[in-house]
Structure 1
């Protein structure tokens, strides 16, 4: 597929960057979501891609929220369709869920504002590294609520009490504060942002990324309850032996060396 709103850059050690480039504000709309969908499918099937980084080419904005003006205008045309706005919300949920399900580590590299939908995309990623900008679910300040998975993911990550505080007060957090409460994994130097993200991504890429993908599947299944999660975990454990990662890891262990799975 030819991408118009994102750039796909394959870099060293199997790290592939998805760079959002939808001027002027990187707003999320159907065209961008379709490109996200295709990118997830492409990178899932690309054996050379070991780690995915989502970043922005806009120096100030990671990802803006939905095109609210467009939704409001279209909702008038769909006055007889009670489910129109709900379907728009479900569409964004489904798009972001694809990153949550992608069987490889996914890093949100946030070096600009990630409010509303931008925060929701970041929450769907496995890791969040942040330099400049602010992050938060600010929809309530507009009389709305997060509609792309934000109420669910923030509650899972931070707990009910903190999620309610941040959502109800529409808080916008800078990187250090977001790191302190666990909303992001790491606040990084904005001047060295790309270098630090790259170092972290390449550290992941030398690990057992197939096992990481299976662990991710099991972790995601925990939301379905303990019994269901344990069942998925058992099968995922068995599936690790379908690759040669266990032989690499065990050989390095017995040789008292650090395993490097990148050669796999």
Structure 2
């Protein structure tokens, strides 16, 4: 499959990198969203892909956020049309949610600024490893609010008080600040970002990634009523026995060996 705004690099152990390349600043455009959705379909359906990494080809920016010039140019068509504006917000939410719900681990390798929509894309990933730049939901400084899922994901990740503070103040966090509050999982240097992300991705890839996908679905259910979460967890637990992974894991356990999920394919 060909793409205009991203590159897909399939690497060892079933790790696939999505490299965003949408000059000049990796702004979120309609074409980029279409490419990301198609990549989610392609990589999600490929059994040889076990872990997905999202990063940027831009030296200073992970993802810049929405294409503000395009928004201004097209703004007149939505004047007085609240439903049209809602539709644009839902469009971004659904795009990013494809990775949040993908039944495989997804890592954001943040190699530059991740502000506004860029932060929202990173929040939709399971893990965030950051090397430089700043990260934050900065929309209120423009008189807007996060519209691609940011108000929901940041609140669930950091709690209401901290999310309210960061969103209201449009704070741009340095990597270490983001690490301290749990917005990112790991901070490294620009020189080691690829190396350390690769090591972590391969560690995940060597594990029971099908079980991780089912656990991911159950974890998301924890955001709703606990009774509903219990039901989803129970059904997901049952589905693990259809993946073949318990046979590998339990056999290794009784033999006191490390399970070889990757080699068992």
Question: 1:115 — aligned with what?
Answer: 115
- SS in structure 2 at match of 1:62: strand
- Where in structure 2 are there 5+ consecutive unaligned residues? none
1:49 aligns with 2:49: yes
Question: 2:7 — aligned with what?
Answer: 7
RMSD, aligned CA: 0.9
Question: 1:213 — aligned with what?
Answer: 213
- Give TM-score scaled by structure 1 length: 0.98
Q: CA shift at 1:80, angstroms? A: 4.8
User: Residues 69-108 of structure 1 correspond to what in structure 2 (within 5 A)?
Assistant: 69-108=69-108
Question: 1:167 — aligned with what?
Answer: 167
Q: How far, CA to CA, are the matches of 1:218 and 1:247 in structure 2? A: 21
Q: How far, CA to CA, are the matches of 1:103 and 1:13 in structure 2? A: 17
Question: 1:185 — aligned with what?
Answer: 185
- Where in structure 1 are there 5+ consecutive unaligned residues? none
Q: How far, CA to CA, are the matches of 1:164 and 1:90 in structure 2? A: 21
Q: How far, CA to CA, are the matches of 1:147 and 1:213 in structure 2? A: 26
Q: What are the Cα deviations for residues 90-136 of structure 1, in whole angstroms up to 9, with x where unaligned?
A: 10000000000100000000010000000000000000000011100
- Give TM-score scaled by structure 2 length: 0.98
Q: What are the Cα deviations for residues 52-76 of structure 1, in whole angstroms up to 9, with x where unaligned?
A: 0000000110001111221222121
- Give every structure 1 segment of 4 or more consecutive aligned residues whose post-TM-superposition deviation is greater than 3 Å: none
1:71–1:85 contact (8 Å) kept in structure 2: no
User: How many residues align structurally?
Assistant: 264
Question: 1:257 — aligned with what?
Answer: 257
Q: How far, CA to CA, are the matches of 1:97 and 1:147 in structure 2? A: 13
Question: 1:22 — aligned with what?
Answer: 22
Q: How far, CA to CA, are the matches of 1:198 and 1:162 in structure 2? A: 31
